[in-house]
Structure 1
């Protein structure tokens, strides 16, 4: 993939992501207008998964986390265009793949409309599959960011990205869904689909493995900072996906921003000085 083609794809992704983000903001505003009805839609999760964090759970926190992921994906992609406009680097292609498709999290704004309208199961199923697709792809893309940080060959980047998209689409299409089994976090209740969690665990393992590779394979101090950035970004991303606790989401936002800064600055300085 040439630098010119990569930049064109990034700009196209930013434009499409911005449109989706504005749609998410519009849906969020509609929910705010009907605050009381939406607030009564899903009860506070009565399990013990988050312990004393449970009283801080809210569907509004989960919706805000989705909007933050959308905004974060757009802003970080804009920084990539500015910092790497003339730099050929495989890692950045995978990072942009993660950033652009994380904007699909704004589709979680659809679920609260069950309190206002009768939504068809087909619509809920489609949204469920879109969210699962973006989450699997995000994990695989973060893994690719780390794995390709230890390699200089970028000739196969386009093919590998296409393969990641195809694999994510395949899993999202064929994993069965019960559209009524969402918690207030807008994720499936623990224990509902063991296959879902096994698949997610595999993606998590791939991301950690990529972090290990990028840390051990490079001796550059800046690149080691970028490797830590991958880990912080991954932890922040998981926190924004898997909880509706205000406390955890605030911590996840800090990790997400810190990881993004460390990753982009580390990669930029590494290629600037080498």
Structure 2
């Protein structure tokens, strides 16, 4: 029995010295690994360092922010308190949340039924309707600024408010419709047929079957719209510039910098407060966002 075990042990694969070709292959693999990770670290630093500089400057004193020093001493946490105490800053926060939050809800609610119809219904003019949506995506918003301003500001007297930016979202958004339509094409029609066999109408099928299966696509559209509205500068400048009580953070931040043109520490602190919600939202929703964006290109 012992002789048999010894024979089994000695019968394993031979592990002799590596050949020159194997050593060259290992060396190339190691160099490729180092190069890829070095490029990854360099790219990460390229994007992260500006945020680090922004954060460190926001914690400096007024005098230190004008020097070449990179590390604050001491840390001036009171800069953020001073920003919140600035006239209008909390109002800008409220306006931005209203614009981004309500606008996102209206965009999703109005765009989803249209996308569902374009993806799953068969009707005359369906392709023409899709081409119309795509053509609206290609139309720069600056092209319709003048007629839209004349309509909202002159005809409806809504200048100095954010409603000219929020109300149109209740009628759908071309990009959101197209993105949702592409995602809904990936949902098998068998699920919809089964729901209809069980007695569901189109609305119940949409709410009970399509919406749960389309959560990644809906999340992607919601994040796109939220980020756009949160960072929008052009729209508030056109419609709300004459009324500081209707300013958003992106537009108010520009005037904040003008009011404190030498206080770069306060300007950087205000910028951090503007960016923080967007970063946090993306951090917690990035999985659904990436999945939704990826699956929209599966089927055309």
Q: Determine which structure has more spread, i.e. the larger CA radius of gyration.
A: 2
Q: Sort the TM-score into its range (normalised by shorter chain).
A: 0.3 to 0.5
